[in-house]
Amino acid sequence: MSETAIAAPSPTPRWEADPVLDVEHLTMRFGGLVAVDDLSFAVGRGDITAIIGPNGAGKTTVFNCITGFYKPTEGRLTMRRAEGEEFLLERMPDFQIAARAKVARTFQNIRLFGGMTVLENLMVAQHNPLMKASYFTFGGVLGLSHYRRSEKEAIGFATSWLEQIRLIDRADDPAADLPYGAQRRLEIARAMCTRPEILCLDEPAAGLNPRESAELNDLLRLIRDEYQTSVLLIEHDMSVVMEISDHVVVLDYGKKIADGPADVIRNDPAVIAAYLGVEDDEVEAAEEEVEEIKEEAERR
């Protein structure tokens, strides 16, 4: 693509040219309730992509489908790893989505292993390479040098993350003893310790104060730029979304109502309507209609 083509709105946006994750015709029904309805979007490699929408729009359901919590009723989820391998997430057992397809996630309500230490939380995330290195524990018991080296590497990687999120002093404390903001940071670090290619964050800024929220933005940029990990996040805090997202997908009632760069989405009338309600004259028209129906019913 030539330099000039970038200035003009290109026909295929970057995220469709090289997606790390392709969501195609995703539908999730719970009995009669359609939580996600024929949803398609792409997550660009190396992008921070945000999914926004009012409460109950189906955002978390999309995450649950991607990470194997739910089996989607219909649709296809293709993970394209950097080295070229492709994985159909909807067909994989949950642990392989993390281990082989390299998808990691965090939760809206924090799910750390509270009884384990901060460092151990990060070590569990590196379970698979260690298991292999220890020949399924036998080598670990015998203290083979090969295993000790891998263990040291894993501790080194975990330590670098603890320094990054300023929790190195608390490495040996139980995770449940950390303050709320620190638990959020630890959860992101733990997800990063699985060395994912896409990191799915469910409302990472929920409950954070403005300072912590700004810190989170820096952390997410670091993850994108330094660790070359694509980020997909659900967020309500518009200041976070608009500041750091490269690409925004808007959901309402399980359907996609807008999809594009953050500054375009900000001014999209459909998005404004979903977030702020419909225009006043439309409300009046609807109320009149209801009155007419009532009168008609009374006349009968």
Partner 1 sequence: MEYFVQQLINGLTLGSIYGLIAIGYTMVYGIIGMINFAHGDIFMVGSFIALIAIIAFGLTAGSSLAVLILALILVLLIAMALTSVYGWTVERLAYRPLRGSFRLAPLITAIGMSIVLQNFVQIAQGARVKPLQPLFSGGFTLMELEGPTGAVFRVNLSFAQILIIVTTVVLMTVFTLIIAKTSLGRSQRACEQDRKMAALLGVNVDRTISLTFVMGAALAAVAGLMYLLYYGVIDFYIGFIAGVKAFTAAVLGGIGSLPGAMLGGLLIGLIETFWSAYFSIEYKDVAAFSILAIVLIFLPSGILGRPEVEKV
- For residue 123, the one-letter residue type is M
CB of residue 230 vs partner 1: minimum separation in angstroms?
17
Q: Which is nearer to partner 1, 111 or 294 (CB)?
A: 111
CA–CA separation, 107 vs 203, rounded Å? 8
Phi first, then psi: give them for residue 200, nearest 5 degrees.
Answer: -100, 120
CB of residue 99 vs partner 1: minimum separation in angstroms?
4
CB of residue 123 vs partner 1: minimum separation in angstroms?
6
CB of residue 64 vs partner 1: minimum separation in angstroms?
11
CB of residue 194 vs partner 1: minimum separation in angstroms?
6
Q: Which is nearer to partner 1, 111 or 149 (CB)?
A: 111
Partners of 103 in the β-ladder: 198
Q: Residue 68, Cβ neighbours under 10 Å: how many?
A: 21
From the list 54, 10, 8, 19, the residue with the least C-alpha distance to 255 is 54
Phi first, then psi: give them for residue 109, nearest 5 degrees.
Answer: -95, 125
Q: Which is nearer to partner 1, 127 or 221 (CB)?
A: 127
Residue 214 buriedness (CB in 10 A; 0-12 / 13-18 / 19+): middle
CB of residue 14 vs partner 1: minimum separation in angstroms?
28
Dihedral sign (CA 135, 140, 144, 146): positive
CA–CA separation, 21 vs 197, rounded Å? 10
Phi first, then psi: give them for residue 110, nearest 5 degrees.
Answer: -60, 135
Residue found by looking up tokens 């670098």 in the block = 160
Q: Which is nearer to partner 1, 116 or 242 (CB)?
A: 116
CA–CA separation, 91 vs 17, rounded Å? 24
Strand order in the sheet with 103-105: 103-105, 198-202, 230-234, 48-52, 247-252, 255-260
From the list 235, 251, 198, the residue with the least C-alpha distance to 28 is 251
Q: Which is nearer to partner 1, 128 or 217 (CB)?
A: 128
CB of residue 48 vs partner 1: minimum separation in angstroms?
21
Q: Which is nearer to partner 1, 20 or 66 (CB)?
A: 66
Distance, CA of 258 to chain centre? 18
CB of residue 146 vs partner 1: minimum separation in angstroms?
13
CA–CA separation, 272 vs 278, rounded Å? 8
- Which residues are near partner 1 by CB under 8 A? 67-69, 94-99, 104-105, 107, 111, 113-116, 120, 123-128, 130-131, 134, 136-137, 140-141, 151, 190-191, 194
Q: Which is nearer to partner 1, 38 or 151 (CB)?
A: 151
Q: Which is nearer to partner 1, 52 or 65 (CB)?
A: 65
